[in-house]
Amino acid sequence: MGFVVTHFLGAGLIGHLYRKYVNQNLPILFVFFVALGGILPDGDFVLNRLLISFEYFYPFLAHGGITHTPFFALIFLVVGFLILLIKRDWAKYVFAVTLGVFIHICIDFFLGGGGIEGLMLFYPFSLGRFYLYPGSDPMEHMFISAVIDGVIFLVWMSYMFFRKNFRNLF
């Protein structure tokens, strides 16, 4: 399970490297949208909690369901291509979200996340779930994820401090 910091900064870092080494013409906003896309699939967690509080429950919206499938990323990719035909300038941001969603799925696959039984990588063709957890015990797994999240946060904050950007944060 990756937490918010892992997903936001993990996706943001890859977006940053893409902008730096592959396409320097992209605006910094591109990186931000990759990072946002990186946390989007976990929106199912919030949405599901909200629905349950109104006594609705849709199994396909349960955490780690449809929003954690490559199919979900593909929807953004298709929307991106459609926007490319209409409003060319905006398409790159939708592609950025697509990349972020895809990175989220990869992080959850490798660190374990979404559904406890794994991710439906071949949805809608198969409901089979796959994962590559570092631990089998859910509590231990949660603990490892929290530690990874904390370490990434500390490394990032230290990096900001030494780059002298720290004062801009507050």
Residues that bind Zn ion in the complex, under the rule CB under 5 A? 41-42, 108, 113-114
28: left (phi over 0), alpha (psi -120 to 50) or beta: alpha
Half-sphere exposure of 17 (CA within 13 A, CB side): 7
69 contact partners, CB below 8 Å, separation of at least 6? 105, 119, 120, 121, 123
Minimum distance from CB of 108 to Zn ion (Å)? 4
Minimum distance from CB of 105 to Zn ion (Å)? 8
Residue 108 or 149: the one with the smaller Cβ distance to Zn ion is 108
Minimum distance from CB of 91 to Zn ion (Å)? 25
Residue 15 or 41: the one with the smaller Cβ distance to Zn ion is 41
Residue 67 or 92: the one with the smaller Cβ distance to Zn ion is 67
CA distance 19 to 12: 10
